[in-house]
Amino acid sequence: MVGALVALQSRINAGLSVEVGGGLLAATISFGIGLLLALLITLLSKQIRTGLSRIPHALRGKTLRPWQLLGGMGGAWLVTTQGLTVAVVGVTAFIVAVVAGQVAGSLAVDRLGLSPAGVLPVSPQRAGAAFLALVAVAVSGWGTFLVGGGAALIAVSLAASAGIGISVQQAINARVSAAAEGAMPAAVVNFVVGFTVLFFAVLVGIVAGIIEVASFPADPFLYLGGPIGLAFIALAAWAVRGLGVLLFGLLSIAGQLAGGLTLDLLFPSADLVLGPPAWLGLILVILAVWLAGRGSRRVSGGTMAE
């Protein structure tokens, strides 16, 4: 369900990007709304405020490192790429590229032990899955590359980099969640960091004359990306603590693929059509996800082992 919401968020933020005149500005608006909602919930919840107060203690005790508070940068980049790429390649191609980045990124994340699940070795199955996922991106985007050329290639590359960012974000947000003893404090920190980065990026763009602020759309549906992101980040921070990055990633990927495919079938972007390459790419990325999950099993204590 969370993965399907990510696909929906991608379509929403792409629409918002068209209305306001840029993916970076759309991402800032989306993150700003999510931050306001997170702060409102924090004001109403003593438990969340208590959780936030535990974070400075964790930093002083070195159970949490300062750089582990920067997960919001990964979320900011994901939301930015949604606005920049979905209108070019469609939701399905965007999700396939993100999935490829997630599968490849999870190898490094789990190998480095960034999440509370600990260090997981890179097995031949998971290395093969990463390669297969990259092949899936090339196959699914083949028709789009022929039509869109360099723009489509850049768009897919950006989406894949966002997938890598998601893997890192989920892992270190889970660390913050563990230190705060709650998922919502981690989500609040995530939105504060992400919005700060985006705000200053937009400010620099406006001063440099690169970004022009257009009129804001009246359709309230286009402002739901922030609340959806808040739900995703909070649930991810909670789930990764018990499932590990890989298993949570596999589950959310299934939802992303189903949601992206449904959106492109029911509400296709521009003149995009799901042809044989797109369907073959979907099949390949599903095989990659299955291969990545082979040899991974749940063990006691909520960790995963090869």
pLDDT tens track for 228-283: 888 877 777 677 666 666 667 667 777 777 777 787 777 766 555 566 766 777 78
User: Is the pLDDT assigned to residue 127 strictly greater than 90?
Assistant: no
Domain count for the chain, please give it.
1
Quick one: how far is CA 172 from the chain centroid? 13
DSSP-assigned beta bridge partners for residue 297: 305
H or E stretch at 298: strand 297-298
Please tell me the predicted confidence (pLDDT) of residue 273: 55
Q: Which structure tokens are listed for 234?
A: 């909070």
Please tell me the predicted confidence (pLDDT) of residue 305: 33
d(CA 223, CA 27): 11
Mean pLDDT of 119-124: 70
Percent of the chain residues topping a pLDDT of 70: 80
Backbone angles phi, psi at 195, to 5 degrees: -65, -40
For residues 242 and 127, which has the higher predicted lDDT (pLDDT)?
Answer: 127
Please tell me the predicted confidence (pLDDT) of residue 300: 35
Does some domain include residue 111?
yes
Cβ atoms of 141 and 279 within 8 Å: the answer is: no
Across the chain, mean pLDDT equals: 78
Cβ atoms of 261 and 94 within 8 Å: the answer is: no
pLDDT band at residue 36 using 50, 70 and 90 as cut-offs: very high
**83-118 confidence digits (pLDDT tens):** 778 777 777 778 778 877 887 787 778 777 776 666
Distances (CA, A) of 48 to 52, 70, 129: 6, 19, 38
Per the structure, the complete domain to which residue 58 belongs is given by 2-298
User: Is the pLDDT assigned to residue 40 strictly greater than 90?
Assistant: yes
Does some domain include residue 157?
yes
User: Is the pLDDT assigned to residue 55 strictly greater than 90?
Assistant: yes
User: Beta 304-305 vs 297-298: how paired, if at all?
Assistant: antiparallel
Cβ atoms of 142 and 216 within 8 Å: the answer is: no
Does some domain include residue 306?
no
d(CA 138, CA 126): 19
Please tell me the predicted confidence (pLDDT) of residue 306: 33
Cβ atoms of 249 and 167 within 8 Å: the answer is: yes
Of 28-42, 173-187, 218-232, where does the model show the most confidence? 28-42
Does some domain include residue 304?
no
d(CA 237, CA 191): 13
User: For tokens 């970004």, what's the residue?
Assistant: 211
SS3 305: strand
Residues in CB range of 272: below 8 A, 6 or more apart: 89, 90, 144, 264
Q: Which structure tokens are listed for 170?
A: 């989920």
Does some domain include residue 167?
yes
Residue closest to 91 by CA, chosen among 141, 20, 55, 166: 141
Of 53-62, 102-111, 166-175, 287-296, where does the model show the most confidence? 53-62
Does some domain include residue 76?
yes
For residues 288 and 60, which has the higher predicted lDDT (pLDDT)?
Answer: 60
CA R_g for the chain: 19
Residue closest to 63 by CA, chosen among 55, 52, 51: 55
Please tell me the predicted confidence (pLDDT) of residue 56: 94
Does some domain include residue 303?
no
